[in-house]
Homo-oligomer: A and B are copies of this chain.
Amino acid sequence: MQSRSLSKYSAEILRTVDMLGTVSVQELSQILGVSDQTIRRVTRPMAERGDLSKVHGALVSNKSALDPPFLSRMSVNRDAKVAIASEVAQIIQDGDSVAIDTGSTSAFIAQALRQRKALTVVTNSAFVASTLAMIPGNNVSMAGTQLRDHDGAAFDRAAFEVIERMEVDYCVLSASMVHPTKAFLVHEQCEVDIASAMMDNAKTAIMAVDASKFQPQDRRPALRQPAFKEGDMLVTNAAPGADFDVALKGLNIRVAG
């Protein structure tokens, strides 16, 4: 255990709360055979330390896996991502073939692409795959087997093999941050590798990033996406400043709104 228990009840309380997810103060006082006041006293410092959370009437576990990170990211900058997604869905036409990477923006793009018909899709995101696979007439390939747990994306060898087999019109990529000179940055090497494989097999690359990515990020990403070629596109929701001219040179920029 971390640091030391502040009370002889702490461990038992934490165990119970984590197991049940939510426990009312009353229940807990009966389980431990102490007064409700004692529970409150003991849990207050625990809540301050972040071991658990208090709400009026109950205690809830902090370790609860109720709301996985991926889905909560779906809601930040939702409006911008929806606008960008519908812009991308206008670029891609019925019958086109497209490779789509993982990420929350790509999830919105997949939603928007449901209005297109007869798409050929290859993606390493299980979420994107299941979203588009159920449209009659689409031809969807899931690249990869082993799914990463926070976002359901695959980066194994099979993923690359599938992507490299396909020849697509567009690939849709994302990034965690845009840097004035280093261009598009992400956090993990495997994301770069997938992006690279998709770009190699696509006629046109479409980079989709919302405007907040032009600001410095809390967790600074360090890896550069592969260089874009003339005619590749950038779709965002606000025109980038002139200081990004170097990074975005040659890109066909579309601002959604």
- Chain A residues proximal to chain B, CB less than 8 Å: 1-2, 4-8, 10-12, 14-15, 21-22, 24, 49-51, 53, 55-58, 60, 62-72, 74-75, 78, 111, 114, 117, 125-127, 129-131, 133-152, 154, 158, 162
Chain B residues with CB under 8 A of A10: 55
> Smallest distance from the beta carbon of A75 to chain B beta carbons, Å?
4
Closest 5 CB pairs of A and B: A133-B152, A8-B58, A126-B130, A133-B147, A50-B75
Partner of A70, one of B72, B134, B142, B154: B134
Stoichiometry, as copies per complex, reads 2
Given that A22-B11, A134-B66 are known contacts, is A126 also in contact with B149, CB under 8 Å in the complex? no
B65 near A111: Cβ-Cβ < 8 Å? yes
Chain B residues with CB under 8 A of A158: 145, 158
Best-surrounded residue of A60, A70, A75, A154 (most CB of chain B within 10 A): A60
Chain B residues with CB under 8 A of A69: 134, 136
Chain B residues with CB under 8 A of A148: 133
A4 near B55: Cβ-Cβ < 8 Å? yes
Question: What are 8 A-to-B residue pairs whose CB atoms are below 8 Å?
Answer: A2-B72, A11-B66, A12-B22, A51-B67, A65-B111, A126-B129, A133-B152, A143-B145
B8 near A55: Cβ-Cβ < 8 Å? yes
Q: Which residue of B lies closest to A22 (CB)?
A: B11
B137 near A65: Cβ-Cβ < 8 Å? yes
Given that A130-B130, A133-B148, A145-B162 are known contacts, is A71 also in contact with B78, CB under 8 Å in the complex? no
